[in-house]
Amino acid sequence: MRTEIDATIDDVCRLLERSREANYIGESVSQLAHGLQAAHFAARAGADDAHILAALFHDVGHLCAEKDAERMDALGILNHEQIGAQYLYDRGFSTTVCTLVAQHVEAKRYQVFSRPHYRANLSEASVGTLAFQGGPMTALEAESFEKHPLFKGILAVRQWDEMAKVADLDVPDLPHYRPRMRAHLLAQSGSG
């Protein structure tokens, strides 16, 4: 019997699947490949399911945003991190997953502020979006961000995000993550 959780997973997977061949804001991978690679790197690092799913979903806001959503020129949807976090929250994903997704842009801003060579290693598209996203954090913003209870996890998701831009990297495909999604959503619903 197909459950509400199965329907949610099907909907999320359909959304991601639509980006399999789509150009991803000037990167050398599609958006789906980017998410799959980020999740792969998270799993390889021994991350828990919440972090792996956040890595997989971190850019879903580019896909689920309304057609009239504000854009960063040709670099995707402005505030995609907040849009994606809300989309996931509305579908029953945990606060941890949603927070990790919501904060991955702030992690980039933090890293550019706190690590002198970080910006030089960003892709051209990521440098382009930085200007729309507020630029580097200020010292005061960085000090506050460092106190976030999920600070280390947020930085980890950002690291996996930056790593996940390798053309033709062989990683597990989307069906591989369905059991993780199901277990996660079951746990959130109290049924797991």
Q: Does the pLDDT at position 1 exceed 60?
A: no
| Residues 6 or more apart in contact with residue 34 via CB below 8 angstroms | 24, 27, 59, 161, 164, 165
| Mean pLDDT, residues 68-89 taken together | 91
Alpha helix (H) residue ranges in the chain: 4-17, 31-44, 49-57, 61-64, 80-90, 95-114, 124-132, 139-145, 151-163, 178-189
Give the closest residue to 144 by CA, choosing from 192, 179, 106, 112.
Answer: 106
Is residue 53 within 8 A of residue 99, CB to CB? The reply is no
**Dist. CA 74–CA 72, nearest whole Å:** 6
Range from 78-82, 113-117, 155-159, 166-170 that averages highest in pLDDT = 155-159
Q: Does the pLDDT at position 192 exceed 60?
A: no
Query: What is the CA angle 146-147-148, rounded to 5?
Result: 95
Structural domains present in the chain: 4-164 (1.10.3210.10)
**Dist. CA 110–CA 121, nearest whole Å:** 14
Verdict on whether the full-model pTM lies above 0.75: yes
pLDDT tens-digit profile of 110-153? 999 999 799 888 888 888 889 899 999 999 999 999 999 999 99
Q: Does the pLDDT at position 25 exceed 90?
A: no
Give the closest residue to 36 by CA, choosing from 142, 149, 180.
Answer: 180
